Chain A
Amino acid sequence: MISVRNLWKVFGSNPEAIIGSPDAALTRQELRAKTGNTIAVRDVSFDVAPGEVFVVMGLSGSGKSTLVRCMTRLIEPTQGELRFEDEDILKVDEKRLRELRKTRFSMVFQHFGLLPHRKVIDNVAYSLEINGVGKSERHARANEVIDLVGLQGYAQAYPEQLSGGMQQRVGLARALAVDPQVLFLDEPFSALDPLIRRDMQTEVIRLHHQLGKTMVFITHDLAEAVKLGDRIAIMRDGAIVQIGTPEELVAQPADDYVANFVRDFPKSHILTLRWIARKPQPGEDLNGPILAPSITVRNATRQIIESSLPIRVMENGNLLGVVTAVEVLHLISGQD
């Protein structure tokens, strides 16, 4: 649905000259000192499938916001290719771009970006308004999405009268008002406290199930990434170092940077039996209980520990391997 190829964004003067020159290999600080440029996005490629929740993760300054803004051309990329449903986004003119933004793409921002001088309903209806939708019609639609995000009764309030969590619900409602195909969310919940954040994550999951929108979701919180993401891309200094399912990242981090990221995350919550099953040793009793490989270790732990025999991990009648308490303990204690 979306396909990004070799995308670059270089800040500073004469950005094109950096790409392809030896300077591009320098670290951020070195390049900053030498030419004053910053490479915010470095040769990034990936695809997002329809209906997928694609999460981009990375430390502060790694270029996440720049990347997501490049995808809607809020920031003009320096080089690369960007396709949305076979349309070359980087080539379309201003008018078409606005049309795409009005109807296909929506964004949700970390600091909400609500319009303080407008009521909730007029905030939500803003994009319909600039689409030329009549007042009664756009208010009807706005009320619909306000209900959808659980803000019944607040249509006439002003943003500053709402709590942070509610404000971001307005942000979500505003993004959903035009029924876009893709939602871009730039750290939408980072400014919220943990409890509210959890509610909002659940809300997004619910909306995703209900509406099935494609989402590009930026976060720096691994738990959030794992909870929401079908796939996760990890960024460092502008480049993507690894893309994979949460399970793949945890099980096979591409390098120390990624490993560092996932280190503190309880692996048993993500990894399935497939990852810890081992070849049965000769003479081992293969009459233990059978479990599917897709069950997470956490959910299987009780059975594994209670069983006196090794658990058999079977898929379509084939034995993939066995699992005992030893493997579980290894995983939990982090010495696999």
Chain B
Amino acid sequence: MATTLLSKPANEPAPVVAKKSKLSFQLSLLTGSFLFFALLLRGIATLPLDTSSLTSFQNWLNSVSDWIGNNRTSNPVFTFFINVIRDFIDTFVTGIQDLISQAVGNNASPLLGWFGIVVMLSYLAYAVANLRIALLVCGGLISLGLLGYWQESMDTLALTLAAVVLALIVGIPLGICAGLFPRFEKIITPALDFAQVMPTFVYLTPVTLFFLIGPASATIVTMVYAIPPALRITAVALHEVPWSSVEAAISMGSTRMQALRKVQLPQAKRTIVVGINQTIMAALSMVTIAALIDAPGLGRVVIRALESLDIGSSFQAGLGIVILAVVLDRTTTAAASKVDAENSHLLDHKHHRQILKIGALLSLIAIIISRIYIWAGNFPGTGVLGHDIATYTDNATNWFQAHFVNVTNAITNAISYGLLNPLQSLLTNSPWFVTGLAFVLLAAILGGRKLALVATFCVLGIVGTGLWSDTMATLASVLVASIATVTIGIVVGVWIGRSKRADQIIRPILDAGQVLPAFVYLVPFLGLFGATRFTAIMAAIVYAAPASIKLMADGIAGIPASISEAGIAAGSSKWQMIIKVQLPSARRAVALSTNQGIIYVLAMVVVGGLVGAGGLGYLVVAGFAQLNLTGKGLAAGLAIVLLGILLDRITQAAAVRSTLQGK
């Protein structure tokens, strides 16, 4: 249960013996009494609710949604504000789609045929990065066509671009404000924290409520998700500019605006480009998920395939997303290092400029060709390669399932009977007030009165949504996946934190893993475990592990040499070093990596609702599909938010607690 997991960081030996034993005593007492009462009163006040039944709150949400549906064309808030935004964004997105993905009017192809796009984007990649990246872009785009998903890929790209452009238009100026005005930053930070803790999934329903299903909603959802990194990193970029140079500029009589334009922004450029990279990756990840609200593109293919358990096609389309992700990530990362190179003045500008001119000319020619010749307009063939890949994947999956059914079953059963089922039955059968009180007390122990209040609010809120029982089912999956994630995080984190070599090999894999949009992770596990909770849990572990491992590794690597040396000088063995010196010193890293692990896991576990995981995620998905369940879907989203806040706040408090203890 939560306590056993969360008490981990606090259980490390601490210098302040008295305090530490008091805390662990409190935590064991809490765990003990929770188990006692949960079992004693089991079956009482568990607040179960059938999928098809609705509470009055959920009915009310339904009626709100109906009301919005009925007033969409008459209420001034809609006609003058929301619909205007929707039309604007729709026009913008459709414009980009007409350009690269959707056939316009009587033409068979979009304004730019594939040939023109490939040449132009490769050229752009060369312009912002280098030749190697240009080749990567060229190869990547062509393989998307060979996969048979040219149009879907371009749709995804179009939506991503639209959302990124809008997110940057909003995010960068706000980020600059945050960088310049500490007070503004202070106000906006909690909102950003909140937006980043939220599982992407829960944005979907409320946005469609206002903006209807379609490209506009997909873009807005994506913007909401992509603005925080853009804003945050821009602010960081400005903070990073040495104050001394700003001060010097002001001492020479610059206005604030001049200092910003001539001193701060040029120096912040590189980090802002890194921010653009993050924004693009966030947008891509969200655009694929937005397929749930009918965003066109690769995500839609994956979701259809996932829903019909068509492993081959989902893998094929998933591969397309991965290619797109790699191409976008590499290009923007290389662009950032190029800004670096410019900053260190290594570039030969004249030569470069000439090549750029020639490239621009070539792109123009390619675009014209792509508008004249059919072969250059629509990607030729029907994706031979893609078909082969799908077939091959299906065969491989079948083979694997035939030969390893025992292994996967063994894993499934071991985790089911050993951990997941008992935990789930404990949580779903325990009276809500016992579990709720346990959370509040845990919060009180770790974070004092204020946190206890937050916990009370979350617990009562979840009860209010009418989905307590489903929340507990989700919580059980989240806890199992988190335990696994944190264990992996600590083991691998310690390993690469201790060894430079391991770090060099593993970190790039972790980085690559973090670039992929969340739900491509579902694909391979769906092949292995079918449509069960496990697919979601396994995908969650794989999705969450990189963040967890990295934080842990940084924590271990960040232990001051003096502490490690003292340990070695005292004659500690390797294991003694790890257990007695490094883990305790990195206590905060353990807590932080737990925190991040849980947040990522929660996001993924709810997405697992798509592939047979029950609980809140399933209700959200059902809410998209069935009109009479819209209210329930919204309630489920709210419950996820509350659960997210609860878990986040408590683990953060544990992190703070362990930092204090370390001192």
**Chain A interface residues toward B at CB < 8 A:** 72, 74, 98-103, 105-107, 109, 111-117, 126-127, 129-131, 158, 160-161, 174, 178
Contact = CB atoms under 8 A, between A and B. Distances in A.
B448 interface: no
Contact of A72 (B249, B251, B255): B251
A74 B343 contact: no
B262 interface: yes
B253 A130 contact: yes
Given A115-B249, A117-B266, A130 B244 contact: no
A117 B343 contact: yes
Contacts of B242: 111, 113
B248 A113 contact: yes
Nearest to A128: B252
A151 B433 CA distance: 77
22 contacts: A100-B253, A101-B251, A101-B252, A101-B253, A102-B252, A106-B251, A107-B252, A109-B247, A112-B244, A113-B247, A115-B248, A115-B262, A116-B245, A116-B267, A127-B252, A130-B254, A130-B258, A130-B262, A158-B345, A174-B248, A174-B252, A178-B252
Contacts of A99: 253
A174 B242 CA distance: 18
A74 B253 contact: no
A111 B248 CA distance: 10
A98 B248 contact: no
Given A74-B247, A111-B244, A116 B343 contact: yes
Nearest to A104: B253
Nearest to A94: B255
Nearest to A177: B252
B263 interface: yes
Contacts of B250: 74, 101
B251 A107 contact: yes
B344 interface: yes
B254 A109 contact: no
Interface string B77-101: 0000000000000000000000000
A107 to B, nearest CB: 4
Interface residues of B, number: 20
Contact of A98 (B244, B247, B255): B255
A117 B245 CA distance: 11
Closest 8 CB pairs of A and B: A113-B248, A102-B253, A101-B253, A113-B244, A127-B252, A107-B251, A98-B253, A117-B266
A223 B401 CA distance: 83
Interface in B335-385: 343-345
A236 B253 CA distance: 30
Nearest to B343: A117
A74 B252 contact: no
Contacts of A131: 253
B248 to A, nearest CB: 3
Contacts of B344: 158, 160
A114 B266 CA distance: 13
A100 B250 CA distance: 12
A37 B255 CA distance: 29
A44 to B, nearest CB: 20
B245 A113 contact: yes
Contacts of A105: 251
A114 B252 contact: no
Contacts of B249: 115, 126
A247 B318 CA distance: 82
Contacts of A101: 250-253
A126 B262 contact: yes
A129 B263 CA distance: 13
Nearest to B258: A130
Contacts of A107: 248, 251-252
B255 to A, nearest CB: 7
B337 to A, nearest CB: 16
A309 B252 CA distance: 60
A130 B252 contact: yes
Given A126-B262, A158-B345, A115 B245 contact: yes
A190 to B, nearest CB: 13
A116 B248 CA distance: 12
A150 B651 CA distance: 59
Given A127-B253, A130-B254, 20 more contacts: A103-B253, A107-B248, A107-B251, A107-B252, A109-B247, A109-B248, A113-B242, A113-B245, A113-B247, A113-B248, A115-B263, A126-B249, A126-B252, A126-B262, A127-B252, A129-B262, A158-B344, A158-B345, A160-B344, A174-B248
Given A114-B245, A116-B245, A74 B266 contact: no
A219 B540 CA distance: 59
Nearest to A180: B252
Contacts of A72: 251
Contacts of A106: 251-252
Contacts of B245: 113-116
A109 B258 CA distance: 20
B251, B254, B255 — most chain A CB neighbours (10 Å): B251
A116 B247 CA distance: 14
A178 B263 CA distance: 19
Contacts of A126: 249, 252, 262
A305 B262 CA distance: 63
Contact of B248 (A102, A103, A114, A129): A114
B574 to A, nearest CB: 42
B251 A74 contact: yes
B260 to A, nearest CB: 12
A74, A102, A130, A178 — most chain B CB neighbours (10 Å): A130
A117 B253 contact: no
Contacts of A103: 253
Nearest to A117: B266
Contacts of A129: 262
